[in-house]
Amino acid sequence: MYPDIPEELKALIEPLVEDAGFELVDILLGQGRQPRLVRITIDTPSGDGRVPVGSCAVVSREIETHLDAEDAMAPPYRLEVSSPGLDRTLAREKDFAAACGSEVRIETRQPLDGRRRFRGRLVGFDDGIARVDIDGSEVGIPFEAVAKANTIYEFTRDDFAEKSGL
């Protein structure tokens, strides 16, 4: 989650992402096996998730150069830069606000009413509270309690329709 990104890493990476015309959504630091995974998610300022693969490669090279020059990551590490994808990560408050009306999956840091995993329709996000409709009951989940969250892409007939001109 965006608030959990180490400040020194955010201070190094976020300006590089912004200079490329994108926004930093999240940084995930993998634990355990070597090489250590550094997964960076970026998005367009409009939040549409349409980050070209070539732009991810350019941002990745720039970040890797700076990480190495600043000795910010102990080698070996594996760097991945990508867009939010179909099941986009909800890491910032603005991501939750933009996802209202979507099906979401949320995992909390600690149990809320005896559970940590929630899946339902995000009906609102106000004053730092995600309001999720789960089988007809509305549950309020504080933003600071969220460990991990993402939208669940809902396929439609249009996803499977033949596209002309391809």
In a domain, 109, yes or no: yes
Each residue's pLDDT, cut to its tens digit, for the chain (166 residues) gives 567 788 999 999 999 999 999 999 999 888 877 888 999 999 999 888 889 999 999 999 999 999 999 998 888 899 999 998 888 889 999 999 999 999 999 999 999 989 999 999 999 999 999 999 999 999 999 999 999 999 998 888 887 877 765 5
Residue 166 has a pLDDT of 54
Instruction: Tally the domains of the chain.
Output: 2
Pair 68, 138 in one domain: no
- The domain that holds 102 is classified in CATH as 2.30.30.180
Domain range enclosing 97: 93-151
pLDDT, position 164: 64
Q: Is the pTM here over 0.85, yes or no?
A: no
Q: Is 165 part of any domain? A: no
* pLDDT for res 165: 58
Write down which residue in 82, 106, 126 finishes a domain: 82
What do you get for the CA distance between the two ends of the chain, in Å? 37
